[in-house]
Amino acid sequence: MTARKFVRKAVKHTALNAFFIVCCFLALLPILYALSVSFDAKGSLLSSSFSFIPEEATLKHYIAVFTEEPVLQWFGNTMLLTAATVVLAMCCAVPAAYVFSRRRFPGRSTVLRSLLLLHSFPSILSMFAIYKLMSTMGMINTHIGLIVIYAGTMGVFAMLNMKGYFDAIPLEIEEAGKIDGCTDFRIVTGIVMPLARPSLIVTMVMIVNFVWNEYIFSINFLTGSDRMTLASGLYSLQATETSGSWPVFAAASLVVSFPVLVIFFLSQKYMVSGLTAGGVKG
Partner 1 sequence: MNGKRKSYLKSWMISSPALILIGLIVVFPILYTFYISLTNMNTYHWFNYDIIGLKNYARAVTVFDSGFLEALGNTILWTAVNMAMQLVIAFVIANFLNVPGLRLRNVYKTILMFPWAMPGYVSILLWKTGMFNSQFGLLTQWMEQLSGQMIRWLQNDVSAFICCTVVNLWLALPFMIMIMDGGLKSIDRSYYESATLDGAGPIRQAVSITVPCLKPVIGPSVMITLFTTFKQFDVIYLMTQQVGAQTGAHIHTVITYAYENAFITNNYGYSSAISVMIFLMLIVFAQLTGRRKEADA
Site for partner 1 in 168-207 (CB under 8 A): none
Residue type, 178: K
Between CA 282 and CA 268 the distance in angstroms is 14
**Residue of 66, 140, 225, 246 interacting with partner 1 (CB under 8 A):** 246
Tell the smallest beta-carbon distance from residue 29 to partner 1 (Å).
8
Q: Is 141 in the site for partner 1 (CB under 8 A)?
A: no
**DSSP H or E stretch at residue 248:** helix 246-276
Pick the piece of the chain touching partner 1 (CB under 8 A) from 54-62, 72-80, 91-99, 189-197.
Answer: 91-99
Q: Is 280 in the site for partner 1 (CB under 8 A)?
A: yes
Between CA 88 and CA 85 the distance in angstroms is 5
Measured between alpha carbons, how far apart are the two ends of the chain, in Å?
Answer: 51
Cβ atoms of 144 and 186 closer than 8 Å: no
Helix (H, G, I), strand (E, B) or coil at 107: coil
**Residue of 6, 8, 17, 18 interacting with partner 1 (CB under 8 A):** 17
Total residues contacting partner 1 by CB under 8 A comes to 97
Residue type, 33: Y
**Of residues 29-88, those binding partner 1 (CB under 8 A):** 29-31, 33-34, 37, 45-46, 48, 50, 88
Tell the smallest beta-carbon distance from residue 2 to partner 1 (Å).
16
Cβ atoms of 187 and 178 closer than 8 Å: yes
Tell the smallest beta-carbon distance from residue 45 to partner 1 (Å).
5
Q: Is 6 in the site for partner 1 (CB under 8 A)?
A: no
Helix (H, G, I), strand (E, B) or coil at 57: strand
Q: Is 16 in the site for partner 1 (CB under 8 A)?
A: yes
Cβ atoms of 213 and 231 closer than 8 Å: yes
Residue 188: Cβ within 10 Å count: 18
**Of residues 208-227, those binding partner 1 (CB under 8 A):** 209, 212-213, 215-216, 220
Tell the smallest beta-carbon distance from residue 241 to partner 1 (Å).
6
- 225-244 mask for partner 1 (x: CB under 8 A)? ------x--xx--xxxxx--
- Quick one: which of 35, 42, 39, 45 has its CA closest to 59? 39
**Residue of 77, 82, 85, 153 interacting with partner 1 (CB under 8 A):** 153
**Of residues 94-123, those binding partner 1 (CB under 8 A):** 95-100, 103, 105-109, 111-118, 120-123
Helix (H, G, I), strand (E, B) or coil at 267: helix
**Residue of 11, 20, 72, 76 interacting with partner 1 (CB under 8 A):** 20
**Residue of 65, 86, 159, 207 interacting with partner 1 (CB under 8 A):** 159
Between CA 235 and CA 74 the distance in angstroms is 12
**Residue of 14, 67, 126, 183 interacting with partner 1 (CB under 8 A):** 126
Rounded (10°) angle between helices 143-167 and 108-119: 120
